[in-house]
Amino acid sequence: MSEEAGSMFVVYDDTSSTEESPHQTSLSLETTNDAIPYIGQRFPTHDAAYEFYTEFAKSCGFSIRRHRTEGKDGVGKGLTRRYFVCHRAGNTPVKTSTESKPQRNRKSSRCGCQAYMRISKTTESGAPEWRVTGFANHHNHELLEPNQVRFLPAYRTISDADKNRILIFAKTGISVHQMIRLMELEKCVEPGYLPFTEKDVRNLLQSFRKLDPEEESLDLLRMCRNIKDKDPNFKFEYTLDINNRLENIAWSYASSIQLYDIFGDAVVFDTTHRLTAFDMPLGIWVGMNNYGMPCFFGCVLLRDETMRSFSWALKVFLGFMNGKAPQTILTDQNICLKEALSMEMPTTKHAFCIWMIVAKFPSWFNAVLGERYNEWKAEFYRIYNLESIEDFELGWREMVCSFGLHSNRHMVTLYSSRSFWALPFLRSHFLAGMTTTGQSKSINAFIQRFLSAQTRLAHFVEQVAVAVDFKDQTGEQQTMQQNLQNVCLKTGAPMESHAATILTPFAFSKLQEQLVLAAHYASFPIEDGFLVRHHTKAEGGRKVYWAPQEGIISCSCHQFDFSGILCRHSLRVLSTGNCFQIPDRYLPIRWRRISMPSSKLLQSAPNDHAERVQLLQNMVSSLITESAKSKERLDIATEQVSNLLSRIREQPISLQGVKDVSSINRNV
């Protein structure tokens, strides 16, 4: 009887093959190692015949499977004949769909291919052996190249040694992609040439994780409750499925919520990672603080990536953040997430992260464009960074024509969603500079700090807690401030000096770039504002509206809306109008040196002493900035600070003061 279902039964045309003849049956066993099967070829066992035909198939560009067996006493008993067929033999029967059970919409690879090898059992020489009695190698489909055939499931195998190695890697917490790369290096093979793929590794890890998921869930909930007991301001929410198993869980820290209050205007919700140890989709909410450093807002683990799961995650996040939705949220291209955002955050501008899109380019376009890939990528970036929508549309059409990508499905999809990722469509929305290459790398590096997921869920929560320790972040912020403290003034303009005392070094460096560029522009009064254009241009330019009495200025380039930093066009108009200070509203709180009480940054309860110490630290920073501008200022500051330090050391120290200082030192 057949090993396949009845509908899978295939009648092979033996007349198209070479049948057994008396001359061929006398061939010796020495011919069994020949590369091509032939009638009369002998094998000691049917497994040996299968292995031989497998190697032949692999060299030709296809794989095989055991099809049907025949014998006097049924399958496995008195077996006398066996068929091995091409993996594309037969036709998949149409399944009867049921409304209650969703069907997988996956196309079958089977196309009725007639290639096969038949072997029969004989005992003519005394000992039983198997001979090839039928063979056809005519395929009705294309055969794969050597670099493609290895991806067929039949040839993708993970040895026991490799399985053990993968388990060791999983316990160290590295990602599947990193596992593959390490094993390629260890085995000295080219990238992509291991006998298995990332999908195979994920499937293997998933089989290991099925051992005791309930215990994992209990440990995770226990860990969150322990944190909650120690810190009442720690927040977490979770859902259980109908079997009382953990379905989704999200958490955030008190410091995250306080940071979000200031820096939650633009948020990245990164859902492109999975928790390696448990194969759960992972969502991370990240923003950027006033020093240009990533800051953590929250984390969620989901059972799946459906609209229902994403909606739950977004609702919980808004609950953590006291109902305050971000102005803009950046995500991956995920249809379910897009729909969930439109429902749960209808007033938030949704945009796609450009670096998440660009990360897919090699797999999308490398093979299509070949040697022109890098040329195309440079042109894509140029068009992406254009200022006007009209220029973008024209540039896109020219790029598509130049590289012959009219019918490329990825280009069609990118163009249809251009309003979500192309800068000309996003410049009127605040993105805190998170679309720049430098900041995207910074955010990715930050996320990687806690993506070294352990084999236990509870360990992952601990890993996140360590990675986003806000005491460490405060220290990093102070280090960055010290490294960038001695900023050189480049224009000598009063506006530059004024901004240097207010903005963080990160934000000031961005403004300073625009101040330097402003000197290359000319402004012309027009009926309702100013026309500002580069001094070398006779046409074009940007329109700037300025109302000095109201302290309002705006530019058609929308840079301030986009980044919170005034553009060179606006700065040129202010300079022409003898404005010596940038209007207060154009030095946003989120980019200023003092944007949050130290008690919040240090993740402690409100403390007047700590706040005054933080204020003093900011005053000292400003003192250093101003003193470094000239030798005379530096001399005065050195003398005065020396005298002040002597006076302070003469003051007695109270017991409470010692306690306050100790508390601050522990938190800094």
pLDDT of 550-588, one tens digit each? 889 999 999 999 999 999 999 999 999 988 899 989 999
pLDDT of 590-599, one tens digit each? 999 864 443 4
CA end-to-end distance (rounded Å), the chain: 76
User: In the chain, how long is the greatest CA-to-CA distance?
Assistant: 116
Q: Does the pLDDT of residue 627 top 70, yes or no?
A: yes
Quick one: pLDDT at residue 336? Answer: 93
Q: Does the pLDDT of residue 392 top 90, yes or no?
A: yes
Query: CA-to-CA distance for 129 and 392, rounded, in angstroms?
Result: 72
407-419 b/e (C-beta count within 10 Å ≥ 16 → b): ebeebeebeeebe
- In whole numbers, what is the pLDDT of the chain averaged over residues? 80
DSSP string, 274-297: EETTTTEEEEEEEEE-TTS-EEEE
Which of 410-414, 486-490, 536-540, 582-586 has the weakest average pLDDT?
486-490
Indicate the DSSP class of residue 366: H
**Highest-pLDDT range among 61-70, 107-116, 377-386:** 377-386
Q: Dihedrals φ, ψ of 314, to 5°?
A: -70, -40
pLDDT of 169-183, one tens digit each? 776 667 888 888 888
DSSP strand pairing (42-43 vs 64-71): unpaired
Among the listed residues 428, 435, 420, 419, the one whose alpha carbon sits nearest the alpha carbon of residue 560: 428
Quick one: pLDDT at residue 342? Answer: 95
Sheet holding 529-534, edge to edge: 521-526, 529-534, 542-547, 552-555
Quick one: pLDDT at residue 665? Answer: 41
- Give the 3-state secondary structure of 129-192: EEEEEEEECCCCCCCCCHHHHCCCHHHCCCCHHHHHHHHHHHHHCCCHHHHHHHHHHHHCCCCC
Q: Does the pLDDT of residue 16 top 50, yes or no?
A: no
Quick one: pLDDT at residue 658? Answer: 42
Among the listed residues 515, 547, 520, 514, the one whose alpha carbon sits nearest the alpha carbon of residue 533: 520
For 41-89, where are the E strands, in sequence order? 42-43, 64-71, 79-86
Give the residue carrying structure tokens 């999200």: 250
Quick one: pLDDT at residue 391? Answer: 94
User: Is 251:234 a contact under the CB 8 Å cutoff?
Assistant: yes
Q: Does the pLDDT of residue 49 top 50, yes or no?
A: yes
Other beta carbons less than 10 A from residue 453's beta carbon: 23
